[in-house]
Amino acid sequence: MASSIVSFVKREAVGCIALLCALVSMIFVPPSAAYLGYIDFRVLALLFCLMAVVAGLQDCGLFAVLAQKLLTGKKRMRFISLVLVLLPFFVSMLITNDVALITFVPFTLLVLGLVGRMERALYLVVLQTLAANLGSMATPVGNPQNLYLYSAFGIPAGEFFAVMAPLTLVSLVGLSIAALCVKPEGIEVRFPEKQTIRRPQQLWLMVVLFLLCLLSVFHVLHYAVLLAIVAVCLLLFARHLFPRVDYGLLFTFVCFFIFAGNIGDIPAVKDFLSSVMAENTFITSLCASQIISNVPAAVLLSGFTEDWKGLLLGTDVGGLGTLIASLASLISFRLYLKSPGAKPLRYLGVFTLANLVGLAILITVSLVFLL
pLDDT, one tens digit per residue, over 191-206 is 877 888 888 899 999 9
pLDDT at 10 over 70: no
Task: State which residues form the domain around 260.
Answer: 62-196+246-370
pLDDT of res. 72: 83
Cα 264 to chain centroid distance, Å, stands at 26
- Give bridge partners of residue 187 from the DSSP assignment: 75
pLDDT, one tens digit per residue, over 18-49 is 888 889 989 988 988 888 888 889 989 998 99
pLDDT, one tens digit per residue, over 48-92 is 999 999 899 888 988 888 888 878 888 888 998 999 999 999 999
CA distance linking residue 248 with residue 360, whole number of Å: 33
| Number of domains into which the chain is organized | 1
CA distance linking residue 90 with residue 87, whole number of Å: 6
Backbone angles phi, psi at 76, to 5 degrees: -85, 145
Q: What is the pTM of this model?
A: 0.86
25 inside domain = no
14 inside domain = no
pLDDT at 110 over 90: no
Name which residue leads in pLDDT, 259 or 212.
212
CA distance linking residue 358 with residue 174, whole number of Å: 8
Give me the chain's average pLDDT, please. Answer: 90
Nearest to 313 by CA among 326, 299, 292, 294: 294
224 inside domain = no
135 inside domain = yes
252 inside domain = yes
Is the distance from CB of 317 to CB of 363 less than 8 angstroms? yes
20 inside domain = no
226 inside domain = no
334 inside domain = yes
pLDDT, one tens digit per residue, over 57-67 is 888 988 888 88
Give kind and range of the element (H or E) at residue 220.
Answer: none
pLDDT, one tens digit per residue, over 301-326 is 998 899 999 999 999 999 999 988 99
Backbone angles phi, psi at 73, to 5 degrees: 105, -170
What is the chain's length? Answer: 371
- Continuous H helices in the chain: 2-11, 13-28, 35-38, 41-59, 62-71, 77-95, 97-114, 121-135, 144-152, 157-179, 200-217, 223-237, 247-264, 267-279, 281-292, 294-301, 308-317, 327-337, 344-365
Is the distance from CB of 52 to CB of 241 less than 8 angstroms? yes
pLDDT, one tens digit per residue, over 207-230 is 999 999 999 999 899 999 999 999
- The CA distances from residue 97 to 25, 249, 265, 343, in Å, are 30, 14, 33, 23
Percent of the chain residues topping a pLDDT of 70: 97
